[in-house]
Structure 1
């Protein structure tokens, strides 16, 4: 569920359910997807969330792929964590975990107005117990990011029992976790004192080689925080995890997480950094947009942790924070990978532009021919009939063929625009994403040439055009593309332009999927049945009648249809991947690409039907729906994509 689907479609539906039900349904769904064959690839395709290598950092003996992680409490039963680990995070904290299960007694409260979640009583410690958690984790494939566990003793435990609880938990989870955080919020027996606390910490530290963090809620009095963490720091704990929410005004037993905790959490992180300058500090609390994470890091956090932000902002929040950190880091230090110098890559990325120009010229010529003579001399030679003879046989035959060929011509121009723009604004800047889109779409496009001969007809013009353009495609792929993201000012806020653009992105994704699916269907029809019922109604002839006209007539029409289908797949894939991977604030070239590529495609695909009198409503309905989505997408995404950052 990327943001463009979560914020627009799924979140409104999930918020009609109770928080517990919504969480279970969501985690179960993404967990099932991650465990399906090809599921991880689908998650990568839809979100493209893998963090750039530049964000990796070693802390406390662990290499975190990014400083953004997911905190305990999001999935106490570890449901879906294999999917969550692919959301662009640098670590996941399991838990909370206790030796024995703690069952849910009260309902969570979600307050969309305040963007908060309230955990009453001991609800924030609800978990199935360590043995059930281990069964879940051991049944999963290895998780590619560091995994920690937030562990706690039984409520009201005496000193020895609490120590034994935590030692047992660390021993049980040692093989599947790389670090532990010790939860200090659980009420303990009154027999605890400072000496007992110090002895407790020392025994924990001696029992494991894993880094240990002490969890401190942001509303804890400073003197209590010092009393708790100073002994931990002295015995070798790695740092502080600032998390757990704050107590509500209404009931001391309830804790609230989310927006209301943001400022207090930031202040506490800043104080903790000044108090323990060499400790690793993990900051959490109210991080709902990239700006919140940057402020937390600026306050002194080495790592940040998400919780309620994933619920209210969406699963794309880690990726957005990663991009904001990368862009900010680049602006401040200038140490990110720079795009290749123009002198080094000019002759390479410009080949991509030439490919795009060639596609546009080829499409324009094909359009001109299809609108005039329709068929070429070698078509007539293949048929053994002239265009005039075809008109005598059936006055709609040439019009029908013209409608197929003009649709193909419009699609070729659309693809040419996309390749030109990808080269001019992607390959030139050394964008790895642009190169990947160029490679995937182009490979499909050139491979679709073989669909032309699916019915035994070899199109010389298509063959020559493909042979001329293929070297340009191959040379363009050699352009150096080391840059994860071309430099743009970071998109920091969940503002109106961003929320509105998610609808625009959704519409363009639907168009990309729709064009790809339509291309596949048309290609299959082209090499099998050739016609749909509305085609035969328009032609006023059955396939056997057409075969009686000329046994080579259907192969000629089939080659047009299959070729158009292949081009449509290539076009649809390019639009889909652009919408999934390159939709970023300030990428104005993308908005103009949508416009310039969409206009010839829709003018050709819809206009030609009216020009030849093929106006079947059902046949044209998908095209009209796509055109409406296209116009809405342009309007909704323009403020975001063309923003002057």
Structure 2
């Protein structure tokens, strides 16, 4: 029903506006008695064989929702009933910020992709905490954290630390988002020496809590082999819990969209089917070169069960969807989990 009826209607409207409309629609629908159980019955796959145990957490299935969809943690309880094994909120910054000027979200329908330059628009860490206090405990929650746009370089670490300390009681794992191409001073966030400093400070803060939370690093799909080798060394040296591969891409090669269309859109991070191969390449390289030394969450271009299996076979332990969720609908989660069960047989 989603692809044949709802998606054609949704795609008639501005992507960002329809995103907010969809949130409101889901909220209203879930207030109708019986609908929550109906969605769960239709989309959720309950099977112990889907469980995955990673960095001290038990995921009821390996299919998650990537950061960027529920930035402010306002819909995770409802989304949990679509069958996700985990949901990542954010990117959250210390202070609320509007992000980049609109229009900043664009569909590439022929490519089944999206270009965005949102710029970490969110309501701030305190607003996220108020929403997370409503957690019904249905699903594992990840906290994707970043810095405010106006923060000076010498204060970057403090921004991450502020979010980490504030969110620590409310999320199950953390993701340091240092690879988004839509924030300023991107170069520093990818400098190995700075990353070692950042991770060290956050890990030190982690040890002050009675229960430590896993910390992961989200990396770009555009890194070359030398840079990926640095990531492997970084994870080893800092004892990070894992890596998310990957974020959006700045490359535009091989797109069906015309040069004129891309020029009109301008800069931004590309997600969806066009980055599938690039993301899988990164996963495979990290897994093989490190000899599976650390867990990898695979994300980028998953629009079918086959796409997800490809990521898992490349070395991912879990997968996340975002653009594929928008193009394919909630049935994608069920399809992936059923395919994993079929493969297990």
TM-score, structure 2 normalization = 0.87
Q: Is the 8 A contact 2:45 2:337 kept in 1?
A: no
Hey, what does 1:327 align to over in structure 2?
342
Equivalent-residue separation in structure 1 for 2:67 and 2:174 (angstroms): 11
**Residues matched between the structures, number:** 322
User: Would the aligned equivalents of 1:51 and 1:322 in 2 still touch at CA under 8 Å?
Assistant: no
Task: Render the CA deviation track for 1:316-341: whole Å, top value 9, x for unaligned.
Answer: 111110000000011xxxxxxxxxxx
Native 8 Å contact 1:205 1:236 kept in 2: no
1:238 to 217, 238, 241: 241
Q: Does 1:49 align with 2:44?
A: yes
1:304 equivalent in alignment to 2:314? no
Structure 2: distance between partners of 1:31 and 1:111: 28
Segments of 5+ residues of structure 1 without an aligned counterpart are 331-645
Q: Give, in angstroms, the shift of residue 50 of structure 1.
A: 3.4
Q: Say which structure is richer in strand.
A: 2
Cα deviations by residue, 1:126-172 (Å, 9 ceiling, x for unpaired):
2221122222222x341311100111123474555121111111111
Residue of 118, 127, 131 corresponding to 2:115: 118
Q: Aligned-pair distance for 1:246?
A: 0.8
Higher helix share: 1
Measured in 1, the distance between the counterparts of 2:11 and 2:145 equals 30
Partner of 1:546: none
Q: Which residue of 2 aligns with 1:13?
A: 9
What's the counterpart of residue 315 of structure 1? Answer: 330
Give 3-state SS (helix, strand or coil) of 2:296's partner.
strand
Indicate whether 1:199 and 2:197 are aligned.
yes
The SS at the match of 1:197 is helix
Shift of 1:198: 1.9
Q: Which residue of 2 aligns with 1:71?
A: 66
1:181 equivalent to 2:181? Answer: no
Q: How does 1:170-569 map to 2 (within 5 A)?
A: 170-185=164-179, 186-188=183-185, 194-208=192-206, 209-228=212-231, 230-249=233-252, 253-276=267-290, 277-330=292-345
Equivalent pair of 1:149/1:180 in contact (CA under 8 Å): yes
Alignment-derived partner of residue 156 in structure 2: 162
When normalised by structure 1's length, the TM-score is: 0.48
Counterparts of 1:63 and 1:287, CA distance in 2: 23
Q: What value does the CA root-mean-square deviation take over the aligned residues?
A: 2.2
**SS across alignment from 1:246:** coil
Residue of structure 1 in register with 2:97 after alignment: 102
2:79 equivalent to 1:84 = yes
The alpha-carbon deviation at position 268 of structure 1 amounts to: 0.9
* Correspondent of 1:144 among 134, 138, 145: 138
Q: Report if the CA contact (8 A) 2:298-2:320 is conserved.
A: yes
When residues 187 and 64 of structure 1 are mapped into structure 2, their CA distance, relative to the original with a 3 A threshold, is same
Query: Which secondary structure state, in structure 2, belongs to the residue aligned with residue 240 of structure 1?
Result: strand
- Where 1:110 maps in the other structure, the secondary structure is strand
